[in-house]
Chain A
Amino acid sequence: MLQGALAGLAAGGVYAVVAVCLTLMAQLVKVINFSQAAIGMFGAFIAVTFADAHVPQWLAVMLGILCGVVLSGVIGWIIATWLPEASISARSAVTVASLLLLISMSYILFGTKPKTFRAVFPGPAFEVGGVVVSQVTVVMVVLAVAVAIAAKIVLSKTGVGTSLRAIADRPVAAELMGVPVKPFAIGVWLVTGLIVAVAIAIVAPTQTSDAASLSLLVIPASAAALLGGFRRLDLAVIGGLALGMIQGATAQFPELSLVRDWIPLVLIVVFLLWNQRKEVWDAAR
C-alpha cells in the first residue's frame, strides 16, 4: 500500500502544480481554467513530435514548453481583450471551449493513439523502507511546493504582487490608478502556462499518455484546488499530493480499480456541499 501511495505521489505532484495554477488564476484573473492541463498536453505532444523528427530531446522539450506558454498567452490575450469585465462563469466557459478545441486539434495533428514520451527524469531517486521513490516523484513534489511558496512570496512581498492583488480586488479601480491590467493578466496566463507545461512535460511519461487523459488531469487538480477554496495555495498543494497518494494506494487493490477514477469527482461533490453548509436556503438555490 505504501508502495502504491508513493507511486501516486508523482501524479499527486502534477495535481498539486495544476491546482496551484488554477488557484492563482481564479484569484488573480477570475477564471477557472479548464484548459490548464490541455495546454500542457499540447506542449508535450509537440515535444514528442519534434523528438520523433530526431530533434535533440532537450530541445524538443523546450519547444513543447514554449508552445504551451504561447498557447496559454493567446487564450489569456483573447479573454483579456474581449472579456475584460465579464463574469468568472463567462471567462471559464471560454476555457471549456479551449479544452475541447485543444483535444480536437491534438487528435487531428497527432492522431488518437497514445504517445510514447521519453522520461525527462528517468530512474529511481532513493528508497524508503524498501519502497523505491522515482526522480519524477521527487521533482514533482518539489516543483509543487516551490511554485506555491514562490507565488506566495511574489504576491505578498513585491510591487508586482501588490498590483496583481489590487487587480484581483477591483480591476477597473486598479486601471484607473495606472496599473497595466491587461499585460498583468496576460502575464499570469503566460507564467501559469509555463509552470503547467513544465510539469506535464516531466510527468507525462508516467501517465496514461493520450490527449484526453492528460487534459483531464484538470479534474483531480480542481478537486485539490477546491480543498483550498480556490484561495489557499497550501491546501491546494496538500490536496493534490493527498489525492495522488489515495489514488496510488487504491490502485493496489484490483477490486477498487473502478472506483479510483471516481475519487476526484466524489471529492469535488463533497467539497462543494461542504462549502455550501452555511448557506441559507434562498442564497443556496
Chain B
Amino acid sequence: MNSGAPDTLVLDDLTVSRGIGPVISHVSLAVAPGSITAVVGPNGAGKTSLLESISGVIQARSGTATFGGADITRLSRRKRAKLGIVHVEQGRAIFPSLTVRENLQVASRDRATIDRTLEYFPELEKRLDAPTALLSGGEQQMVVLARAFAARPKVLLIDEMSLGLAPVVFLRLLPVVQEFAATGVGVLLVEQFAQLALGISSDALVITSGHVTYSGAAARLLDEPETLRKAYLG
C-alpha cells in the first residue's frame, strides 16, 4: 500500500469504537484518485462508522488514516474537509431552510464551480431558488451530491445514497457518481444494493459484524456470487 501517493486515502489497521465497544476492527484499505471502492455488508456491520471515522464525525480508537501521506487520524472534521475529504451522509442531509442555490453556495461561492456542478444535475437548474425542503426525495439527494461535488473533493465518501429513493432515481445517480470519479476523484461508496454498487466499482470491501471479510477486486464478487455470499456470512 503506497500511503504517500498524492491524493490517496489510506487506512491502516483502523479500529472504531462507539459506546461499549468496537464497531469495526482492523480495517486497511487504499482509495486511489479516480477509483471507486464499494463497501458492502449487512445492516449494522459498521460501514457508516467507517465513513464517519474517515471524515472525523467520530474518532478512530486505534490505527491510522493518511491522505496523500499526511496523517489525518486526529484532524478536525473541518480540516479534513479542507483537505478534500467530503462526506455525503446517510439520509439526504440537505440544509432544509436554504434554497438549492444556497445549499451549493455553502460548498463553494465560485459561480463557475456551481455551474460545472449543475451540468451533472440539469434537473436542479430550474429549482435553484426553491427551498430544498420542498423538493422530492430524489431531487434532495441530487442537491446533496451536487453540494459535495461543488466542494471539489479529492475523496468522496458516500453513505447509502439509495436510502429512501425509488430504484429509478438511484439508477439515475449511480452513473453520475461514476462520471464524477472519472475526473480523478477517489470514491468510497457504502451501499446496500451490493450488485449495483459493485457494478461501478473497481475495488470492494465486504464488512460483516465489524470485520473485513473480503478485500479485493469488485469484479470478482460479481463473477463469483458464492464468494460474495461467503463474505456476507463472515
Encode contact with A along B28-52: 1 for CB under 8 Å, 0 otherwise.
Answer: 0000000000000000000000000
Residues of A with C-beta under 8 A to B107: 177-178
Which residues between 64 and 105 of chain B lie within 8 Å of chain A, taking CB atoms? 77-78, 81-82, 86-87, 89, 93-98, 102-103, 105
At the interface, yes or no: B176 with Cβ under 8 Å from chain A?
no
**What is the number of residues of chain B that contact chain A, defined by CB distance less than 8 Å?**
23
Which residues between 149 and 192 of chain A lie within 8 Å of chain B, taking CB atoms? 159, 162-163, 165-166, 168-170, 172-181
At the interface, yes or no: B57 with Cβ under 8 Å from chain A?
yes
At the interface, yes or no: B109 with Cβ under 8 Å from chain A?
yes
The closest CB in chain B to the CB of A163 belongs to: B106
The one of A163, A165, A175, A176 in contact with B97, judged by C-beta atoms closer than 8 angstroms, is: A165
The one of A173, A178, A180 in contact with B95, judged by C-beta atoms closer than 8 angstroms, is: A173
Which residues between 51 and 98 of chain A lie within 8 Å of chain B, taking CB atoms? none
Is B106 a contact of A176 with CB atoms below 8 Å?
no
Is A165 a contact of B151 with CB atoms below 8 Å?
no
The closest CB in chain B to the CB of A161 belongs to: B102
CB distance from B113 to the nearest CB of A (A): 13
The one of A159, A165, A166, A176 in contact with B57, judged by C-beta atoms closer than 8 angstroms, is: A176
Residues of B with C-beta under 8 A to A169: 94-98
Is B95 a contact of A174 with CB atoms below 8 Å?
yes
| Dominant secondary structure at the A interface | helix
CB distance from A187 to the nearest CB of B (A): 15
B77, B89, B105, B109 — most chain A CB neighbours (10 Å): B77
Instruction: Report the bound CA distance from A6 to B56 in whole Å.
Output: 55
Residues of A with C-beta under 8 A to B102: 162, 165-166
Residues of A with C-beta under 8 A to B154: none
Is B77 a contact of A175 with CB atoms below 8 Å?
yes
Residues of A with C-beta under 8 A to B81: 175-178
Residues of A with C-beta under 8 A to B106: 162-163, 166, 174, 177, 179
Residues of B with C-beta under 8 A to A177: 81, 86, 106-107, 147, 151
The closest CB in chain B to the CB of A156 belongs to: B102
CB distance from A189 to the nearest CB of B (A): 19
Instruction: Report the bound CA distance from A172 to B76 in whole Å.
Output: 12
Encode contact with A along B185-226: 1 for CB under 8 Å, 0 otherwise.
Answer: 000000000000000000000000000000000000000000
Is A166 a contact of B95 with CB atoms below 8 Å?
yes
CB distance from B164 to the nearest CB of A (A): 17
A169, A175, A178 — most chain B CB neighbours (10 Å): A178
Instruction: Report the bound CA distance from A245 to B147 in whole Å.
Output: 48
Residues of B with C-beta under 8 A to A181: 78
CB distance from A165 to the nearest CB of B (A): 6
Residues of A with C-beta under 8 A to B95: 165-166, 169-170, 173-174
Instruction: Report the bound CA distance from A181 to B79 in whole Å.
Output: 12
CB distance from A70 to the nearest CB of B (A): 25
Encode contact with A along B135-179: 1 for CB under 8 Å, 0 otherwise.
Answer: 000000000000100010000000000000000000000000000
Known pairs A159-B105, A170-B93, A173-B89; list 8 more (Cβ under 8 Å). A159-B109, A162-B102, A162-B105, A169-B96, A172-B77, A178-B107, A180-B78, A181-B78
User: What are 14 A-B interface contacts by the 8 Å CB criterion?
Assistant: A162-B102, A163-B106, A165-B98, A166-B106, A172-B57, A174-B106, A176-B55, A176-B57, A176-B77, A176-B87, A177-B86, A177-B107, A178-B151, A180-B78
